Amino acid sequence: MKRERTHSWDDPTPRTARMATLSGLEVLRLVISGELPQPPMAHLMGIHLAEVADGKAVFAGTPGEFHYNPLGTVHGGFGATLLDSATGCAVHSTLSAGDAYTTLELKVNFLRPLTHATGEVRGVATVIYAGRTTALAEGRIEDAGGKLYAFATSTCLIKRATS
């Protein structure tokens, strides 16, 4: 039986312009409150920014059949995207207005498979080092019971507005 899925997203242009005047933490709090839209990639993957604090970010999502690989489990790209989003936003939460970042490296260890029966999972990330030009964060994918599905480390390049 063929299944269909459609998605929509908000124009990211106004968000991008407004972000330059706000700290990373302010931007992310506005995303959670709905005053700024979730990123288009989050809509595509079926994930959302759920929590944020200085140096910490949590993305949540429920894996579906549309995330499956040929083996009948969730494709690793779903977990990698969840962890890249969480670790990146954890770093973003530490940045000043006008600063930017990009992921240089993402290392993911998958411990067990996800399926649609897993239910909602959370990518929980914290910054473990924040320097002038690089930052490191670690993240975990956990289910509602705290079971660990994957672990990641991320290195981000920071572009300071003042440099």
SS3 61: strand
Query: Which has the closest alpha carbon to 137: 80, 82, 89, 76?
Result: 89
Return the pLDDT at 80.
98
Q: Kindly state the average pLDDT of the residues 134-156.
A: 99
Q: For the chain, what percent of residues have pLDDT higher than 70? A: 99
Superfamily of domain 13-159 in the CATH hierarchy: Hotdog Thioesterase (3.10.129.10)
Q: Which residues pair with 142 in a beta bridge?
A: 122, 148
What is the residue type of 26?
A: E
Q: Is the pLDDT of residue 25 over 70?
A: yes
Return the pLDDT at 160.
95
Instruction: Give the CA-trace dihedral at 76, 82, 84, 88, to 10 degrees.
Output: 180
Q: Is the pLDDT of residue 14 over 90?
A: no
Distance (Å, rounded) from C-alpha 132 to C-alpha 130? 7
| 163 pLDDT tier (thresholds 50, 70, 90) | low
Q: Kindly state the average pLDDT of the residues 149-159.
A: 99
Return the pLDDT at 16.
74
Return the pLDDT at 47.
97
Q: Kindly state the average pLDDT of the residues 132-158.
A: 98
Return the pLDDT at 18.
78
What is the residue type of 163?
A: S
Instruction: Give the CA-trace dihedral at 85, 128, 142, 54, to 10 degrees.
Output: -70
